[in-house]
Structure 1
Amino acid sequence: MKKLGLFIRAFFSHTLFLINLGVAAWLLLCRYASTTDPADVRYLGIISLSTVFALIVNALFFVVWLFSRKKWRSLLSLAVLGICFRMIPAVFGLNYFEQNNMLPQLGGLKVLTWNVHGLGLYDRPVDKRRPEKMFALIEEQQPDVLCMLEFYTNNDGSNPKARKYFEHAGYKEYRFMYDNDLGAKIFIGNAIFSKYPLSNFKETLIDEYIKLMQCDVQLPHGQQVRLFVVHLQSFLLADKEKAMLEEAQKSAKKLEKQKAYTHTFLEKLNRAYQKRAPQAILTRAEIDKSPYPVVLCADLNDVPCSYTYTTIRGGLADAFAQKGKGLGRTYNMISPTLRIDYIFYSDSALKLIGYQSLKTPQFSDHNPVIANFVLK
């Protein structure tokens, strides 16, 4: 019996270490996916969705071996976590003891970006008061620059509710970039509201129905920041399919029924990754042309440490990584690990003093992201 017990213990220990090897390879594959064009390796981009779990499991293995008799085995996960160390703050906000100042600063720059999902236009029945409620929430934050993605205007370019808010909140500038429509009467796109003067407005077509919006923000004392706004390719999942995924998470039986759709989901996800890659490259090329410090407000439709994220971020700082906490979820469906809305910035010229992402599932499928800066 004693020999049998030793055999079982050894078998379990070796099996666990083999699993640990597989988990370490999983995390290294996530790192590889973050720097490799999804067009080069089929389905590779999709592995980025699991980065948060790969990090967690490797951290657990490190702890397990550290408190076991074979402590040396903890070095495997420790080494892999060390190799992937730069991924950690992008995925997990560890800034629980950082000061977080969200009050607008005199001469500073407070930026709010929000995918407003058509201000409720897509939902049925339409809540006619939703735009007013959303603008009231924004007004509480007092942003100097407001970027609204999936914003809409009428065919004459107007949005009466937005105009009323624009005048009430004291904005001096408004720009709208159309990239899609709902019939002949509604234009969908991105909008910028600014309390500072804007100049050099430009639209760059980076794909069909995908445009990069940019302008220069004139700050006090003659300083300028180039603002970019972009909304990249979605995952190509219809609302019905998103709802199906959420239901599948809650019930194993329903998950069995949805197996027939797995291939379709994977193909859609893979196609979306392949479409976003050249969009990210073109966006990065435009950012690199900027003679001024940069602020980029983006709905990347992609998670941290994906190829899209890594390419677009480049040498910019991620506001969440600097001041955020937890997983920083910004998308209110499917999974709590989906942070897909970002504010990137040039930390050589701008000092981040506050970051926040409000929970607003009652208004949009996305949460607003806010960054508060002072000039260096």
Structure 2
Amino acid sequence: MRNLSWFNKGIFLLNVVLAITTLVGYFLPFLAPKLFPVLSVLTLFLPGLLIANIFFLLYWGFQFKRQIWLPIMILLLGITFINKFYKFSPTNEVIEDDDLTLLSYNVRLFNLFNWIPSDDIPETIKEFIDLKDPDIVAIQEFSSNNSLNFKQYPYKYIVSQGNKVKTGQAIFSKYRIIDKGQIKLPNDSNNNVIFVDILYKKDTIRVYGIHLQSFSVSPDIHEMIDEEHSKRVFKRMSEAFAEQQLQSELIRSHMHDVAYPKIICGDMNNSAYSYVYQNIKGELQDAFIVAGKGFGRTFDFDYFPMRIDYIFVDKRLKVKEFNTYNNFYNSDHFPLMTRLSLVDKK
């Protein structure tokens, strides 16, 4: 510190504050949101904190200052968090014709209320699904207020609610569905969880489609910054996280009694650094971490690669591929798709 200029002393002070904030962020995934609801909002911004630490690493590195060890230490401690944020290279697995492919997509009611100024959004989404031709399609914010017909899927399970506008979730499958149901979420939530059991290669696989409580924040970062009542925004977000905790506990409890391989996919409305993520994922694989690449951005949020949609896969299944199609702008979310195979039991 003695050899630093006054300017660099100020910069180092900011670095220390950032380091402490980042360390707090590392512990938050293990703390229930109900205990620290406002603090849990910090998990959404942990990727930004990691980027800021990289900035300080470069800043001190260019000056050959020993203060570089602070960001190095913070980044090393958070190496697993970095892998959740950015995947440097995908896996190279052998692709087989009988692999199981699954696509998950929050379609935002197929643009029912014209959020995107285009009249052909439903048809464009259907064309995309037809092109990718997955074996299973899990759709969140599904709306039956359109004439779309997915004829290539002989089996389906749709749960909708509402009067004039029916909204909910749907799972379409090329494989026979032998059981299905839903987990009704408490507190009159508009969100829900559905599941189907499919027959695949004489094995049964449980597929969950999830859509957890939204924190109802505009994707326009300027609205968040300039909003007159910003405290209400954070209050609303913290309340949503507490609600998600309860929802995640119900899902985890429901999965506990399932003996066969499980796949969980959908819109979790929370980051990979959250208690809710940890609780639902458990011992499952995050398909993005296993076989994805890049930032894996799933939500159209200004200036920030936010990942709040996931595919979690049982370890009895091998994740061969994972893709996020974030150049497909037909919703506020982006579709994600994975390729799986059963692990050899020999």
Normalised TM-score (structure 1)? 0.83
1:307 matched to 2:268: no
- Secondary structure at the aligned position of 2:183 is classed as strand
Specify the alignment match of 2:198 in structure 1: 217
Conserved 8 A contact 1:144-1:195: yes
Say which structure is richer in helix: 1
| Amino acid aligned to 2:132 | Q
Which is worse superposed, 353-362 or 210-219? 353-362
| Amino acid aligned to 1:351 | K
Conserved 8 A contact 2:168-2:191: no
Specify the alignment match of 1:285 in structure 2: 253
1:261 matched to 2:229: yes
Conserved 8 A contact 1:112-1:369: yes
1:117 matched to 2:108: yes
Which 5+ residue runs of structure 2 have no aligned equivalent? none
Deviations 1:209-246 (A, max 9, x none): 232211212111x1221111110011134xxxx26x44
Report the CA distance between 1:87 and its aligned residue: 1.2
Residues 195-344 of structure 1 correspond to what in structure 2 (within 5 A)?
Answer: 195-207=174-186, 208=188, 209-220=190-201, 222-237=202-217, 242=218, 245-248=220-223, 258=226, 260-344=228-312
Aligned residues: 341
Report the CA distance between 1:203 and its aligned residue: 1.0
- Secondary structure at the aligned position of 1:150 is classed as strand
Which is worse superposed, 11-20 or 191-200? 11-20
Q: 1:144 to 1:259 in 2, by over 3 A?
A: closer
- Secondary structure at the aligned position of 2:299 is classed as coil
4+ residue runs of structure 1 moved beyond 6 angstroms? Answer: none
Report the CA distance between 1:125 and its aligned residue: 8.7
Which is worse superposed, 37-46 or 16-25? 16-25
- Secondary structure at the aligned position of 1:263 is classed as helix
Q: 1:53 to 1:203 in 2, by over 3 A?
A: same
Whose Rg is larger?
A: 1
CA RMSD across the alignment: 2.5
Report the CA distance between 1:248 and its aligned residue: 4.6
Conserved 8 A contact 2:106-2:266: no
CA distance in 1, matches of 2:256, 2:327: 33
Q: 1:361 to 1:374 in 2, by over 3 A?
A: closer
Specify the alignment match of 1:139 in structure 2: 130
Report the CA distance between 1:335 and its aligned residue: 4.3
CA distance in 1, matches of 2:56, 2:317: 39
| Amino acid aligned to 1:204 | I
- Secondary structure at the aligned position of 1:371 is classed as strand
CA distance in 2, matches of 1:64, 1:49: 25
CA distance in 2, matches of 1:41, 1:119: 36
- Secondary structure at the aligned position of 2:266 is classed as strand
Q: 1:34 to 1:128 in 2, by over 3 A?
A: same
Which is worse superposed, 282-291 or 356-365? 356-365
Report the CA distance between 1:39 and its aligned residue: 1.4
Report the CA distance between 1:100 and its aligned residue: 7.2
Report the CA distance between 1:126 and its aligned residue: 8.2
Report the CA distance between 1:286 and its aligned residue: 1.6
1:354 matched to 2:321: yes
| Amino acid aligned to 1:217 | I
- Secondary structure at the aligned position of 2:98 is classed as coil
Report the CA distance between 1:283 and its aligned residue: 1.3
1:60 matched to 2:55: yes
Alignment equivalent of 2:155, drawn from 146, 168, 173: 173
Specify the alignment match of 1:99 in structure 2: 92
Normalised TM-score (structure 2)? 0.90
CA distance in 1, matches of 2:31, 2:306: 21
Residues 4-43 of structure 1 correspond to what in structure 2 (within 5 A)?
Answer: 9-43=4-38
Q: 1:149 to 1:259 in 2, by over 3 A?
A: closer
CA distance in 1, matches of 2:318, 2:115: 42
CA distance in 2, matches of 1:134, 1:24: 43
Conserved 8 A contact 1:107-1:219: no
CA distance in 1, matches of 2:54, 2:89: 18
Specify the alignment match of 1:3 in structure 2: none
- Secondary structure at the aligned position of 2:130 is classed as helix
Report the CA distance between 1:141 and its aligned residue: 0.6
Conserved 8 A contact 1:217-1:226: yes
Deviations 1:176-198 (A, max 9, x none): 012x32xx343211101101111
Which is worse superposed, 279-288 or 355-364? 355-364
Conserved 8 A contact 2:157-2:196: no
